[in-house]
Structure 1
Amino acid sequence: MALLENFNNQLVCGGWLIDKSWVLTAARCLVWGFPWHRDIRMVYLGVHSLKKATKGSIQSIKVKKNFPHPEYNAKTNKHNIMLLQLKSSVKLTKTVNIKALPNPVTDMPAGTRCLVAGWGRTAKGGDPSDVLLSGNVTLIDRKICSRDYNDNPIITNEMLCAGHNNDSPPVDSCKGDSGGPLVCGGEIWGVVSFGEGCGNMKYPGVYTFISKYDKWIKETITTAK
């Protein structure tokens, strides 16, 4: 897991290491304003607690360049995915390691049990979590998910939806979790993208479906190198 800091020294998002010098996250982690955006400047790896750093476990690395998807739409959250190229390669340790992307698949079936992780809020309007948390969610059919959102936005084939498991309180991603991973069967298939509130049983969390961007990810990394 990676913790991302923006230009204003704010810890804003999650992500994860897919290569020694590349982090995958969400494009919405940038600060947008026509015709500019402000970049993620720093990545922290090996973090568990935000307040109590474990000596020797954390690596802080500056970001060389932000690569948001060129077709990202902040209103519809389409193509909400971004690559961060680091200025230097990370040192692989017990607390810092790579989680490479799986071979792409056509789709993920509804009912699949998954896990989402991050340092985001644990309740709407609450504070970010001090420690890295995770919770179990279940993939939901896109048609049902799109209906839940009244087709605003429409849930596309480039997105996955995941909701509660009748937990009390319901499990969900929340503000501050954007860019973090959705893990299903030990592999990362989604990027935390957006939702409505936090733990709202009427609105599943929505995730960018990584398999649809496998070609873009590989081409971006190859071109940059």
Structure 2
Amino acid sequence: MNNKILLIEDDLDLGEQTAFYLRSSGFDITWSRSALEALSTLGRDNFSLLLVDIQMPDMDGFELVKKVLLSNPQQRFIFLTARDNKDSKIKGLKLGGEDYVTKPFDVEELSWRIHNIINRQQIRRSSDLVIGDIRLLQDQMMLTFSNKQQVNLTEREFEVWKYFALNANRVLKREDILLAVWGESDYFLGRSLDVFVSRIRKLLNYSRNVQLETVYKVGFIFRVPVS
């Protein structure tokens, strides 16, 4: 398992404590104390996951992640922040964040969150899923459409698409989707699910025969033609 983690945190005490505990948990931790230092480090090495502080003096974490994704769209990341508000969480999840951890956090819990994310990345995906005129390439986390359009997915997007594909043509309750993909269900995760659903609907404009229908106050039906 590739367990190389880049911790990007300007608070010296928190950074030292977090790096120490995660190393003792078996992760290979590199600690960058600023956004610019992180960009330099990323130019020299690859990491399975980034832990990104949002509030840094030289560049906030959101802007840093945007820069990283320009050169590496598949990069996984978790935001670490003292901003415990809805808009900030949704902004982080819209960028494709795997998680959003509010300070002060329990380092042991953070370790398990990281462990689960990396494990999901390492699951071998040996076959494609055909969804009407869409193909989900599981080994590449990519969608291909009949018009030759190709779309790369984040880890979380891939998990949502896969859940919908494996449960096509049946009513899917919102809480069941959240538990299956995120492992828990709450208001903020429900809002993040809405973001993913909105993106799925836009991508379905490339499809001729797959639809995502809303079931009022219940959830969704992923309509796929049955051959």
Calculate the TM-score normalised by the size of structure 1: 0.25
Greater fraction of residues in helix: 2
Task: Answer 1 or 2: higher relative contact order, Cα 8 Å, separation at least 6.
Answer: 1
Greater fraction of residues in strand: 1
Calculate the TM-score normalised by the size of structure 2: 0.25
- Bigger radius of gyration: 2
